[in-house]
Structure 1
Amino acid sequence: MATLRAHNKKSSAVKRIMQEAKELAEDPCTDYTAAPLEDDIFEWGATIRGAPGTDFEGGLYRVRILLPAEYPFKAPDLMILTPNGRFETNKKICIDGLTSFHAGSWQPAWGVRTAIVGLMSFWQSKGEAMQAIGALDYPTEERKRLAKLSRSWKCPNSGLTNLEILPDVPPSSVNATASSSSSQPSNDAIPPLAPEPAPPASLEPPLPPSSAPPTVLPSADISLLSPPTSLTSIQPIPPPEVEPQEPIVVAPPAVERPPLPTVAISQPPAPLWFDACFGVVLLAVGILLARRLV
């Protein structure tokens, strides 16, 4: 597995890449294999197997995966290193949503495994779907010839052939898996039920027949169960008479109102100088009247 000698261990991209490398190592697949390089974890090497029933059946193809520094928020780049007749070698190919050519469609939840599976699916497309950047359309005979040569193609980084990196799946393991599943008893088959054992015979000796006469129970008096009188003779009890009562009128309680306050209006007394002046005027009037009379 790749080391972290030249990378920041606290980087979210480094943590994500190491997590994906661990998951791919612990959960391998027979159709592809992928791992980061020893000296650069942002560059991966993957080997995929040609799909059966196609022009690439039996072929093994080496893929170079370049992860950006902003991974997983940006899409990776894919390049095919093995001649195949489907894509150009050592050139970035265009896959909708999975490469940097369509970065807007990339989802951060995807990873290297998603890119590899998408490449394998896009590898088998035909017609207008295969017309993309880096796509080729070789004849069927040439593709089959390149598929046979791809098995011995050597990786420039590891020096191993594709067959050594991704060996063929032995058919014995596939048959063993199928036979083991068929040899196991089916859950639907229900074994026949065993017959229930007969109940054990009683060990007690049978009782001898009794010679005493049977006891006769006294018959019940049916007349006691019959009602004493018929239901039609029962007269209904009239309801008691209730005298009408006069309604009780409750007068509202008298509310005592407080007396209104009285305001005493007092007139101020006349000043003394007013009385003196009034007296002088009366005296002068009296003198004038007395002179006219004389």
Structure 2
Amino acid sequence: MSAGGNRNTTATRRLKQVYLRIRREPVPYISAEPLPSNILEWHFVVRGPEKTPYEGGYYHGKLLFPQEFPFKPPSIYMITPNGRFACNARLCLSISDFHPDTWNPAWSVSTILTALLSFMVENIPTLGSVETSDFTKRQLSAQSLAYNLKDGVFCELFPGVVEEIEAKQRTRKDFGVPPHNGQPKPNVRGALVNLCVVAGLVFCVYTVRFGLHLIGQD
């Protein structure tokens, strides 16, 4: 067997072990699944932690492991718009392939995802990060629900998360709260009230003018 084949076998064996471990001990706020057709490509979902601008959001991303894993680190990408990281761009983190010199082969997928979440809720800039306000992040958090449901890979790998999102959307609908799309909802009732007030003022003005006209004729 070639050296490349040995590395690939080592990576595959290690990632299978990691997958069994992560199923037994899930990472807080995170779900992770490898592609059924390629164990070197993992997808994950970060649930926005409470008391952060990401609360209520679902953020889809992926890890691309090299054949030399665990001796070389993975590439890390975020897919869902989030206001913290650029979408579909390699992230420059100490746990990613941007910094192989800081990589520790003992680190697992759980370590990588925990570190990513920690970095996400901080405001430290790096290559692949973006600067947006907390208000924008909250808007994107609300929009992330519908956004992820349009992603076929997301729906295939995370049916349980899809059910969570659909349940949230039903709750919003039941309580008359539409999904937040970042645009202010037109205040139809207020507009009608204002229109009635203006019409009433116009009517009063014309009534007074008509009365003054009659008085002038007398």
- The alignment's TM-score, normalised by the length of structure 1, stands at 0.50
Q: Aligned residue for 1:199?
A: none
Match of residue 53 from structure 1: 51
Structure 1 residue 150, shift from structure 2 partner: 1.0
Residue in 2 that maps onto 1:25 = 23
Looking at structure 2, the residues matched to 163 and 41 of structure 1 have their Cα atoms a distance apart, in angstroms, of 19
Question: Where in structure 1 are there 5+ consecutive unaligned residues?
Answer: 1-6, 169-294
- C-alpha deviations, 1:117-146, integer Å up to 9, x for none? 0000000112xxx21111011122211011
> 5 Å matches for 1:1-294?
11-96=9-94, 98-126=95-123, 130-152=124-146, 153-154=148-149, 155-159=151-155, 164-165=160-161, 167=164
Q: Give the Cα separation in 1 of the matches to 2:114 and 2:152.
A: 23
Unaligned runs of 5+ in 2: 166-218
Q: After TM superposition, give the deviation of residue 95 of structure 1 in Å.
A: 1.0
Partners of 1:17 and 1:35 lie apart in 2 by 11
Q: Stretches of 4+ moved more than 6 A in 1?
A: 7-10
Higher-helix-fraction structure = 2
Percentage identity across paired residues of the two chains:
30
In 1, Cα distance between equivalents of 2:50 and 2:101: 33
Distance in structure 1 (CA, Å) of the matches to 2:27 and 2:15: 18
Distance 1:91 1:123 in 2: 15
For 2:110 and 2:61, the matched residues in 1 are separated by: 13
Deviation at 1:26, TM superposition (A): 2.3
Q: Is the contact between residue 8 and residue 14 of structure 1 (CA under 8 Å) also seen in structure 2?
A: no
Distance in 1 (CA, whole Å) between partners of 2:61 and 2:42 is 8
Does the CA-based 8 Å contact 1:61-1:84 persist in structure 2?
yes
Rg comparison, structure with higher value: 1
Q: Deviations over 1:202-257 (max 9, x none)?
A: xxxxxxxxxxxxxxxxxxxxxxxxxxxxxxxxxxxxxxxxxxxxxxxxxxxxxxxx
User: What is the CA distance between 1:10 and its match in structure 2?
Assistant: 8.3
Aligned partners of 1:87 and 1:134 also within 8 Å: yes
Counterpart in 2 of 1:291?
Answer: none
Q: Flag the 1:158–1:150 CA change in 2: closer, same or farther, 3 A.
A: closer
Normalized per residue, the structure richer in strand is 2
Q: In 1, Cα distance between the equivalents of 2:41 and 2:15?
A: 10
Count of matched residue pairs: 159
Higher relative contact order (CA 8 A, sep 6+): 2
**Amino acid in structure 1 at the alignment position of 2:127:** I
**CA 1:160 to 1:142, structure 2 compared with 1: closer, same or farther past 3 Å?**
farther
Task: Report the Cα offset of residue 151 of structure 1.
Answer: 2.1
Q: 1:34, 1:47 within 8 Å by CA — same for their partners in 2?
A: yes
> Aligned letter for 1:165?
V
Q: Which whole-Å CA distance do the structure 1 matches of 2:112 and 2:90 have between them?
A: 13
Alignment-mate amino acid for residue 117 of structure 2? M
